[in-house]
Amino acid sequence: MFALVDCNSFFASCEQLFRPDLIGKAVVVLSNNDGVVVARTKEAKQLGVKMGEPFFQIRQLTQQNRLTVFSSNFTLYSDLSRRVMQTLENFCPVIEIYSIDEAFLDLSGMTINDLTEFGYKISTTVERWTGLPVSVGIAPTKTLAKIANETAKKNETKICNLQDESECIKTLQKFDIGDVWGIGRRLVVSLRRLGLRTAYELSQVDPLWMRKNFSVIQEKTVRELRGEICFEVDIPQTRKSIQVSRSFGDSTSCLADLEEAAASFAIRAAEKARTDGTVASAIYVHVNTSRFKKNKENYYSNGVIVPFPEPTSNTIEIIAAAKKGLRQIFIPNLQYKKATVILLNLLDAKFAASQKTLFDKNESYSQNQKETENRLMSSLDEINHKFGRGSIFFGVEGIQQPTWRPRHNMKSPCYTTNINDLPIAK
């Protein structure tokens, strides 16, 4: 059996946690650059606010005081997520943190008398310890646990246990095929065309036929709906790529602006790699203009991969490569709206280093140089960790508030991570 624990309207709940005056109100959280809606409370859903809806289309509601809007505050959400996950670890030794707001618990090998009761225990404990509401879905496979969780969200108790087979079938018969985990926007069109409407109907399709006509993933989805485990709880290894990208507050046609943005993203990506203990074999740099301009023919979107001579997490090398790539794809006089940097083919840093000394016999001057630079990077990270991000930074990041800096005009304080932002009880 698996349990899927998922925080309800996670980002919005995080905001309400420190703004109890907003409990029971319509609240949404926006994506970066205050672009689109990424989280909504129940009340906001009832107002008709859609997931992914552009902010400018719902601005009216905020002006009428019917809706409270926040820019995203990932520092806050990450910290609260960590607390939720730590709480869950008390309930089960094998847990897969699947996303910032949900985790699978592998209950196999545990003796639990009453699974529903167990789910209830989880939900009340998380709520008491963190202040955040969660739903719990329990089922024999991960795909079914997902469905159980969706169903739980509509329950009064926020718990749904699909252990019982007839109960499970009843639920599947009411569950839309498009909401099944692994059935996305494209697939649902083909499946509906075949006359399949519900999760139950999908579960009755021949798995081999599914594999032949779609892919092995869809075959597994069908099997999982029947109760056959195909997706185990997996404890993720370090990630294989690191992406940093932002839409710009204001678009720009200036190469210097783009260089500043690309360098900033490269710096952030390099930091993440060092935190993970990985080195990148190549970097991908991408820029694009706005997809939403009337004149579609002028849309420009291009990227290039720049390999490194040897895998690295050195910010200086990574910035240089990012700028090199950028100059290859830059075309003057376009209104750029977004830049992306991705570190590719990440390897374990220690493994990469051992491979190198294995084959590279001339331990040379350049090797010493490398070690010096690595120490420089470590010092940089330590200082910024100790005294806060930005205590020490690269000149290429720019000193003035650049035009490309994303908007986030409605960001809440970092209540739990910044001493100056501590809430005051009156």
Residues near DNA (CB under 7 A) are 31-33, 35-36, 38, 52, 54-56, 59, 98-102, 146, 180-188, 211, 215-217, 239-247, 251, 272, 290, 292, 305, 337-338, 340, 342, 406
Question: Which of helix, strand or coil describes residue 240?
Answer: coil
Q: How far is the CB of 347 from DNA (least distance, A)?
A: 13
Spatial neighbors of 134 by CB under 8 A, at least 6 apart, are: 5, 6, 7, 8, 84, 122, 123, 126, 127, 158
Tokens 């639990």 found at: 112
For residue 374, give the amino acid letter.
Answer: N
Q: How far is the CB of 35 from DNA (least distance, A)?
A: 2
Q: How far is the CB of 303 from DNA (least distance, A)?
A: 9
Nearer to DNA by Cβ, of 101 and 317: the residue is 101
Nearer to DNA by Cβ, of 212 and 385: the residue is 212
Enter the tokens of residue 158. Answer: 């926020």
Angle between helices 255-276 and 315-329 (to 10 degrees): 140
Nearer to DNA by Cβ, of 60 and 155: the residue is 60
Q: How far is the CB of 348 from DNA (least distance, A)?
A: 13
User: What span, in angstroms and rounded, lies between the C-alpha atoms of 220 and 45?
Assistant: 32
For residue 341, give the amino acid letter.
Answer: V
Q: How far is the CB of 75 from DNA (least distance, A)?
A: 13
Nearer to DNA by Cβ, of 10 and 118: the residue is 10
Enter the tokens of residue 332. Answer: 């003057």
Q: How far is the CB of 398 from DNA (least distance, A)?
A: 17
- How many CA atoms within 13 Å lie on the side-chain side of 88? 29
Question: Which of helix, strand or coil describes residue 190?
Answer: helix
Nearer to DNA by Cβ, of 64 and 166: the residue is 64
β-bridge partners, 7: 134
Nearer to DNA by Cβ, of 62 and 243: the residue is 243
